[in-house]
């Protein structure tokens, strides 16, 4: 029985094994970072294919603790593709910063392992461990360059607030366990209706929600986001803001999705989530209006996007769940594209790019500004790019769940958000040329941007293809 | 859901004496602390104000910076200490667990040790245990 379970979780095992091998390589060879870089990429690509091949056979392993196949493997492949894009871009960026070490890839791999475990876990204890594995790797990665003050600031802030949020999550798990006498998510979601009558369970659920809201960066647990996203190295921010969010949302969806079958008592929970969503959308969009630093602006936009995705959790119907996953995929590609475009302009880790650095850049780098404009249009949700359909599905789910007011707020805040996204385009195309900027574009970066653009356009023109895949695997 | 909280209020009611006891204890100890400083005689001199070092003359302040090496050793110690903490209950229950789960439970612990061993090799090669 256990041997079969081990075969089922092969993607996780391969990533774990590769981490051990990478550590040994790093220990025995000096200057091995290029070698480690290639092994990392090959492992990620191989694991992506493996999880796509085995997507059909769904099963529960190790006494209902880890799920494999189906929606889990869909999350695996999403996480792996998006993380590998961030990894590919890291080499040139870190070389330019003269701080290229093999440990970077080892930490990224352990973060990926944590994220994959979060998506596959069906036990609250394992979810917590996976979340900690991901977070601890991110704390270190945020402060990757030990001599850059911004990195240190980001790391310390992230660590202190993150540890605090983990405490909430763990206490929530303890209370849920006290009420349900089990930490198994499948059991808890099946008994959700009767459990909600216990105040202990409700309290635990709210604490759990606080813990997850912190990780997905939703208001009022968003305080760490701007500083951490701005202070960390840009490639790390790209990874954190996309894969980290996908993993946190996957855990949130899994812990709540089964419970949506019982709509009677879910309403109270859904009201709380709807409030979180409203606050995130409005605060994210409005505060981003005044930001001049690019990374900070994208950080607030990421808060707003977390709010849009929370609509799907609040609506809690099938289209909502499928919409969140669709949104996560689109958001991942457009955000990683935008962050990597920003990273291509950076000369040192101390430099914080502002809007002025982009002014008139279209004359020197027409392709750069065209692609940047495309990502900005996609992020603000203008068709024919994927961002539009991400929002569309989520709003539809709110309307279907009798929460039209939530969809209205969503539309209003995306109109507000359009201002600061389009401002980037205006700076690039209609402002006088500023100082000469250097664009560090190599084949690796061009490849990533091409992949991101293709996915964003593909998800925008034929959204049904991916949505059908998602709905097929949703229970 | 909050209606249930009200229904279960009688549960909280039972705790009121306990809460009162804690409050009284807290207030009384705070009162004693404040009272001794208010009413007690205060005649400080240099000898009284120096750090008490079991009768020895203090040489310099104790608040100084320690080398980061101490902390690294302490952190590494904790990791391998935890390893032993996990090994001990495993070893005690091995007979019972083996009957139930067979070879799997033995292999499991060796995988765990192997992971820590890889970390140990890494820190050995990186010179984390070298003092100079």
- d(CA A48, CA A71) in angstroms, rounded, equals 14
Confidence of residue B6 (pLDDT cuts 50, 70, 90): low
Our CA-based measurement puts residue A448 at a distance from the nearest CA of chain B, in whole angstroms, of: 32
Confidence of residue A80 (pLDDT cuts 50, 70, 90): very high
Same domain, B42 and B85: no
Say how many domains are in chain B: 2
Domain residues for B6? 2-49
Our CA-based measurement puts residue A329 at a distance from the nearest CA of chain B, in whole angstroms, of: 33
Our CA-based measurement puts residue B26 at a distance from the nearest CA of chain A, in whole angstroms, of: 26
- d(CA B75, CA B69) in angstroms, rounded, equals 10
The least confident of A210-219, A325-334, B98-107 is B98-107
DSSP3 helix / strand / coil % (chain B, rounded to 5) = 70, 0, 30
* Euclidean distance between the first and the last CA atom of chain A, given in angstroms as a whole number: 24
Same domain, B75 and B45: no
Same domain, B83 and B43: no
Q: Which of A13, A22, A199 should we substitute to test contact with B (largest number of B Cβ atoms within 10 Å)?
A: A199
Q: In chain A, what residues touch B126 (CB-CB under 8 Å)?
A: 27
Return the pLDDT at A336: 95
Same domain, B72 and B115: yes
Residue B105 lies inside a defined structural domain of this protein? yes
Residue B26 lies inside a defined structural domain of this protein? yes
According to DSSP, residue A293 is labeled B
Give residues 250 to 279 of A whose Cβ lies within 8 Å of B.
265, 268
Residue B131 lies inside a defined structural domain of this protein? no
Question: pTM (2 decimals)?
Answer: 0.89
What mean pLDDT is predicted for residues A201-205? Answer: 89
Tokens of A240: 């954190």
CB of A28 within 8 Å of a chain B CB? The answer is yes
Same domain, B9 and B38: yes
Say how many domains are in chain A: 1
Q: Which of A15, A27, A136 should we substitute to test contact with B (largest number of B Cβ atoms within 10 Å)?
A: A27
Contact: B121, A27; criterion CB under 8 Å:
yes
Burial A54-82 (b: 16+ CB within 10 A, else e): bbeebeebeeebbbbbbbbbbbbbbbbbb
- d(CA A172, CA A124) in angstroms, rounded, equals 10
Domain residues for A24? 2-473
ipTM of model: 0.84
Residue B41 lies inside a defined structural domain of this protein? yes
Residue B57 lies inside a defined structural domain of this protein? no
Query: By percentage, how much of chain A surpasses pLDDT 90?
Result: 72
Residue B56 lies inside a defined structural domain of this protein? no
Q: Cβ distance A76 to A114 under 8 Å?
A: no
Q: Which of A5, A9, A20 should we substitute to test contact with B (largest number of B Cβ atoms within 10 Å)?
A: A20
- d(CA A184, CA A121) in angstroms, rounded, equals 9
CB of A32 within 8 Å of a chain B CB? The answer is no
Residue B28 lies inside a defined structural domain of this protein? yes
Residue B111 lies inside a defined structural domain of this protein? yes
């Amino acid at each position: 029985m256990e041997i079969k379970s081990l075969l089922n979780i092969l993607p996780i095992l391969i990533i774990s094994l590769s981490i051990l091998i990478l550590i040994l390589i790093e220990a025995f060879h000096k200057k091995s970072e290029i070698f480690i870089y290639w092994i990392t990429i090959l492992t990620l690509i191989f694991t992506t294919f493996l999880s796509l091949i085995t997507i059909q056979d769904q099963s529960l392993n190790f006494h209902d603790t880890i799920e494999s196949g189906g929606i889990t493997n869909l999350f695996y492949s999403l996480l792996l593709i998006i993380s590998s894009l961030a990894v590919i871009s890291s080499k040139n960026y870190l070389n330019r910063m003269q701080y290229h070490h093999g440990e970077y890839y080892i930490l990224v791999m352990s973060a990926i392992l944590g994220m994959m475990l979060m998506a596959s876990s069906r036990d609250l204890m394992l979810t917590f461990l996976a979340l900690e594995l991901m977070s601890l790797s991110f704390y270190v990665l945020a402060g990757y360059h030990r001599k850059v003050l911004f990195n240190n600031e980001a790391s310390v802030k992230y660590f202190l607030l993150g540890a605090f949020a983990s405490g909430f999550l763990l206490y929530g798990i303890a209370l849920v366990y006290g009420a349900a006498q089990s930490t198994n998510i499948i059991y808890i979601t099946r008994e959700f209706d009767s459990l909600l009558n216990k105040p202990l369970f409700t309290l635990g659920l709210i604490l759990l929600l606080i813990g997850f809201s912190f990780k997905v960066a939703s208001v009022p647990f968003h305080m760490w986001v701007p500083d951490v996203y701005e202070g960390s190295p840009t490639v790390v921010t790209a990874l954190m803001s996309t894969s980290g969010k996908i993993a946190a949302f996957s855990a949130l969806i899994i812990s709540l999705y089964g419970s949506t079958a019982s709509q009677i008592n879910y309403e109270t929970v859904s009201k709380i989530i709807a409030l979180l969503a409203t606050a995130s959308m409005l605060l994210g969009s409005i505060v981003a209006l005044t930001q001049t630093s690019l990374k900070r602006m994208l950080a607030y936009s990421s808060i707003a996007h977390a709010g849009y995705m929370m609509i799907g959790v609040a609506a809690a119907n099938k289209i909502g769940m499928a919409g969140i996953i669709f949104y996560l995929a689109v958001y991942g590609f457009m955000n990683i594209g935008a962050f990597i475009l920003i990273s291509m302009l950076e000369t040192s880790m101390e430099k914080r790019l502002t809007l002025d650095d982009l002014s008139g850049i279209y004359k020197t780098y027409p392709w750069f500004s065209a692609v940047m404009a495309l990502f900005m249009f996609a992020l603000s949700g203008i068709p024919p790019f994927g961002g539009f359909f991400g929002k569309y599905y989520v709003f539809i789910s709110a309307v279907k769940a009798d929460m039209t007011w939530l969809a209205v707020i969503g539309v209003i805040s995306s109109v507000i958000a359009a201002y600061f996204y389009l401002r980037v385009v205006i700076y690039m195309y209609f402002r006088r040329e500023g100082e000469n900027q250097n664009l560090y574009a190599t084949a690796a970066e061009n490849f990533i941007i091409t992949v991101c653009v293709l996915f964003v356009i593909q998800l925008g023109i034929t959204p049904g293809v991916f949505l059908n895949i998602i709905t097929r695997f949703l229970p | 859901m909050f209606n249930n909280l009200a229904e279960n209020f009688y549960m909280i009611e039972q705790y009121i004496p306990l809460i009162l006891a804690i409050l009284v204890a807290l207030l009384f100890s705070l009162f004693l602390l404040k009272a001794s400083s208010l009413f007690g005689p205060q005649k400080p001199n240099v000898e009284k104000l120096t750090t008490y070092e079991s009768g020895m003359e203090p040489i310099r302040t104790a608040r100084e910076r320690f080398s980061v090496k101490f902390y690294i050793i302490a952190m590494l110690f904790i990791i391998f200490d935890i390893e032993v903490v996990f090994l001990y209950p495993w070893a005690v229950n091995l007979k019972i667990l083996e009957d139930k789960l067979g070879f799997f439970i033995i292999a499991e612990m060796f995988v765990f040790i192997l992971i820590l061993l890889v970390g140990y090799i890494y820190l050995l090669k990186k010179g984390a245990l070298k003092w100079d």
